[in-house]
Structure 1
Amino acid sequence: MSTFPEYTADEIKQLQSSDNVLSVVLNFVEQGKLTTQMLTRQTKPVKKLLRKIDSLVIDNGILYRKIHDIECGECKQLVIPETLKHYVLETLHNLSGHQGTERTLALLHKRCYWSDMVNDVKHWIKTCERCLVAKNPFTKSSSINGFVNSM
């Protein structure tokens, strides 16, 4: 699994198929049919993802979203189950130098997808302790004052 090499394809399949939303979406994509009546009976998160059904594909049992990207042409984004969101955000934000919202979204966009990704990234960055410390002018000035006063 090249998107997240820490996980095997079988582990990703298992995580997706045990996810409350993705298991339902996988079923619809496998069947290849979705009626309005079927859609109305679904939960809000399922409906939100099913709006993208034309771009959803299953490859070797794993759900992806196909997109056209300027840099890579047509690429497949791994559809992330709920249980992996924290790991993905931590990996791509924290281990990539605590980039801002746009850069973190760009890194994610090339690899994966989930319905509320933009809001989740914004929230993650707003609550990232390291980012808050780096952006807080009082933290910088108080440490400078402490250094000056100790001289």
Structure 2
Amino acid sequence: MLDQVYQKLLDQVRNGEIRKYWIDDGLLFAKGSRAYVPNGPLRKELLRETHDPQWAGHPGVARMLALLSRKYYWPKMEDNVENYVRTCLVCQLDKTERLKAVCLYGLHHRISKGEWVGIHSCCG
């Protein structure tokens, strides 16, 4: 069963109500020659196949969006991609936290007028 937005667009294109989409061989196309992907399992499969396989390398949001938008279009694609990448367990486990060195304390000792010796202990 097609999602309601997709079905409405198909009907509007068939009736000549909108021209920014078109039908070719029963498929709806939009924005250039990109196939319009209806809401449902196909979108999820495209997200998974573009992000998860070892050959894909778990791309970030920008790269994944570039890969998908070459051939496909759907409303809120960017939001879907961002959510998919953000919730990818492999990506979350792979992230390393980078901490700045923080100075814990410093000791300064005056040797003579205008001369100081300082020792700073930092961690990080």
TM-score (norm 2): 0.70
Question: What is the letter of the counterpart of residue 30 of structure 2?
Answer: R
Please state how far the C-alpha of 1:19 moved relative to its aligned partner: 2.0
Match for 2:46 among 84, 88, 94?
88
2:79 corresponds in structure 1 to 119
Q: How does 1:34-73 map to 2 (within 5 A)?
A: 53-67=18-32
Q: Unmatched 5+ residue regions in structure 2?
A: 99-124
**2:62 maps to 1:102:** yes
Normalized per residue, the structure richer in strand is: 2
Higher relative contact order (CA 8 A, sep 6+): 1
TM-score (norm 1): 0.58
Please state how far the C-alpha of 1:85 moved relative to its aligned partner: 1.4
1:131 corresponds in structure 2 to 91
Normalized per residue, the structure richer in helix is: 1
Equivalent-residue separation in structure 2 for 1:136 and 1:86 (angstroms) = 27
Following TM superposition, the consecutive aligned residue runs of length 4 or more in structure 1 with deviations greater than 4 angstroms are none
Equivalent-residue separation in structure 1 for 2:93 and 2:20 (angstroms) = 39
1:57 and 1:66 in contact (8 A); partners too: no
How many corresponding residue pairs?
95
1:63 and 1:79 in contact (8 A); partners too: yes
Match for 1:79 among 21, 36, 45?
36
Question: What is the letter of the counterpart of residue 92 of structure 1?
Answer: T
Equivalent-residue separation in structure 1 for 2:25 and 2:34 (angstroms) = 14
1:27 corresponds in structure 2 to 11
CA RMSD, 1 decimal: 1.6
